[in-house]
Amino acid sequence: MALDITYPRRNTVACRVGPVTIGGGHPVLVQSMITEETRNIDACVEQVIALHREGCELVRVTTPTLGEARAMEEIRAKVTERYKYVPLTADVHHQGTAIAVEAAKHVDEVRVNPGLFVFHKWGDNVEYTEKEHAEEREAIETSFVPVVEACKQHGRAMRVGVNHGSLSERMLVTYGDTPDGMVESAMEYLRICEKYEYQNLNISLKASRVPVMVAANRLMVRKMDEEGMAYPLHLGVTEAGDGVYARIKSTAGIATLLMEGIGDTIRVSLSEDPIAEIPVCYDILQSLGLRKTKVEYIACPSCGRTKFNLPTVLNEVRDATKHLVGLDIAVMGCIVNGPGEMADADYGYVGAGAGKITLYRKRNVVKTSIPQENGVAELVALLKEDKVWVDPPEGQTKSVINLAVVG
Ligand code: SF4
């Protein structure tokens, strides 16, 4: 069976978001956000359902005004009626008290952006006095406590979601455009939540630059440790763009932190249909051994030693076995380096020369001199013999699985 490699995860308190949980040792949750206008209720309902069907476990909807917050009641009802209960987050930004209080009636989680929640233009300050800091903190508390109380009353979660690009003017003046400003921005809101005995929280610190996002999250962990907090973290790189580069950029930030045990839920933000974000999330989690959602194929890139057309054979093996989620299967071009590089795969399909292949179970040879044209059938026979085979679901004939290639 698959390797059980897990990185030591940071201990966090569980944040309950309706029927799902972030942190507290639960699997890293995959989330995304719809792009339809919130008042266009039917389109939103369809997009929420489509995202959830794809594997998105928490769906965010923007609520810029009270009207959109009220619309969440109908969106919630229609999603449940047409499909099933889907955990929803309302995204609240500017001057958000009334909006967030309304949204808390209808959704499982309210996201508050500390940089914008209380918007206060102070003028041309180059420095804030302690008195001015205290005044603003008091203003924040006054505006924010009704939201905390609404979340407590309705049993909702809250994400304190800081964006590097929308820090408050006071934070920018005091800390500069830095991870310190992002962290302090979140901490002010967390301290208020704790003062009012509300702890069903998770935190995000996003930036479009990977090093900033990574530094902010590491610093956030340190700061929370210092103040005796252990809230889960939501990871993401904002404005990553589209295409291959956006996926690599998101992975660079998210995976770096996950490898350090930091991160309890992720979103890959793409300038594409949000449906496209979900497989990327799962690929990141699968590649780190944090969640297993498909067969892991270990395949060499092929070289002059390769004894068959590796991409073709890989596709044939994958088409035959892709429904056997949990298995690791290696397809290697030659017997010289292949067996040693199969990374402890459960089964190996290895080129042996002269149109023949060898099958492995773990690192042990189980059958040699198999004519290449019978290779896949023999592999399936071996899986049946080992009782790890199940018949594929009806209609599954084409491969839709992305491949992780190792050299
Ligand atoms: S296993 Fe390595 S040496 Fe052998 S064919 Fe593949 S890439 Fe070449």
Question: Does residue 131 sit in the same domain as residue 221?
Answer: yes
Question: Does residue 283 sit in the same domain as residue 300?
Answer: no
Q: Which DSSP letter does residue 83 get?
A: T
Q: Which domain holds residue 337?
A: 296-385
Atom of ligand 1 nearest to the CA of 341: 1
Ligand 1: which residue has its CA nearest to atom 8? 303
Q: What is the CATH number of the domain that holds 83?
A: 3.20.20.20
Domain's final residue, options 287, 312, 341? 287
Question: Does residue 330 sit in the same domain as residue 205?
Answer: no
Q: Which DSSP letter does residue 125 get?
A: -
Strands (E), 117-167: 157-163
pLDDT of the residue at 401: 35
What's the average pLDDT block by block, 10 residues per block, for the chain (407 residues)? 65 98 97 97 98 98 97 98 98 92 98 86 74 90 97 98 90 90 96 98 96 98 98 94 95 98 98 97 96 94 86 95 96 86 90 90 94 95 96 63 30
Pick from 232, 269, 263, 283: nearest CA to 21: 232
pLDDT of the residue at 395: 66
pLDDT of the residue at 5: 54
Q: Exposed, middle or buried, 30 (CB in 10 Å: 0-12/13-18/19+)?
A: buried
Q: Dihedral sign, CA of 302, 326, 269, 168?
A: negative
Question: Does residue 132 sit in the same domain as residue 79?
Answer: yes
Task: Classify 39 as helix, strand or coil.
Answer: coil
Domain's final residue, options 239, 255, 287? 287
**318-365 tens-digit pLDDT:** 999 999 999 999 999 988 888 888 878 999 999 988 889 999 999 899
Question: Does residue 263 sit in the same domain as residue 330?
Answer: no
Residue 7: inside a domain, yes or no? Answer: no
Cβ–Cβ < 8 Å for 302, 343: no
Neighbours of 369 (CB within 10 A): 11
pTM: 0.90
Going from the Cα of 337 to the center of ligand 1, the distance in angstroms, rounded, reads: 6
Question: Does residue 196 sit in the same domain as residue 61?
Answer: yes
* Residue corresponding to tokens 């009207």: 67
Residue 36: inside a domain, yes or no? Answer: yes
Cβ–Cβ < 8 Å for 313, 375: yes
Q: Which DSSP letter does residue 274 get?
A: G
Domain's final residue, options 287, 307, 338? 287
Q: What is the CATH number of the domain that holds 338?
A: 3.30.413.10
Going from the Cα of 309 to the center of ligand 1, the distance in angstroms, rounded, reads: 12
Give the separation between CA 129 and CA 137, rounded to whole angstroms: 12
User: Half-sphere exposure (CA, 13 Å, Cβ side) for 40?
Assistant: 9
pLDDT of the residue at 72: 98
Residue 398: inside a domain, yes or no? Answer: no
Question: Does residue 137 sit in the same domain as residue 259?
Answer: yes
Question: Does residue 222 sit in the same domain as residue 327?
Answer: no
Question: How many domains does the structure of the chain reveal?
Answer: 2
Tokens found for residue 358: 């060898």
Ligand 1 pocket, residues with Cβ under 6 angstroms: 300-303, 305-306, 332-334, 336-338, 341
Return the best residue to mutate from 303, 307, 313 for the ligand 1 pocket (most ligand atoms within 8 A of CB): 303
Question: Does residue 121 sit in the same domain as residue 246?
Answer: yes
Give the separation between CA 379 and CA 369, rounded to whole angstroms: 13
pLDDT of the residue at 198: 98
Tokens found for residue 29: 């949750």
**58-83 tens-digit pLDDT:** 999 999 999 999 999 999 999 999 99
Beta bridge partners of 32: 59
pLDDT of the residue at 115: 87
Strand order in the sheet with 328-332: 296-299, 328-332, 347-353, 356-361, 364-371
Give the separation between CA 181 and CA 170, rounded to whole angstroms: 9
Residue 278: inside a domain, yes or no? Answer: yes
Residue 283: inside a domain, yes or no? Answer: yes
Going from the Cα of 352 to the center of ligand 1, the distance in angstroms, rounded, reads: 11
Residue 263: inside a domain, yes or no? Answer: yes
pLDDT of the residue at 46: 98
% pLDDT > 70, the chain: 93
Cβ–Cβ < 8 Å for 361, 343: no
Neighbours of 351 (CB within 10 A): 26
pLDDT of the residue at 206: 96
Ligand 1: which residue has its CA nearest to atom 4? 334
Tokens found for residue 279: 């497989």
Neighbours of 67 (CB within 10 A): 12
Task: Classify 203 as helix, strand or coil.
Answer: strand
Give the separation between CA 191 and CA 160, rounded to whole angstroms: 11
Cβ–Cβ < 8 Å for 13, 24: yes
Question: Does residue 242 sit in the same domain as residue 340?
Answer: no
15-17 and 20-22: which strand pairing?
antiparallel
Residue 405: inside a domain, yes or no? Answer: no
Amino acid at 286: Q
Residue 3: inside a domain, yes or no? Answer: no
Going from the Cα of 333 to the center of ligand 1, the distance in angstroms, rounded, reads: 5
Question: Does residue 222 sit in the same domain as residue 315?
Answer: no
Question: Does residue 228 sit in the same domain as residue 329?
Answer: no
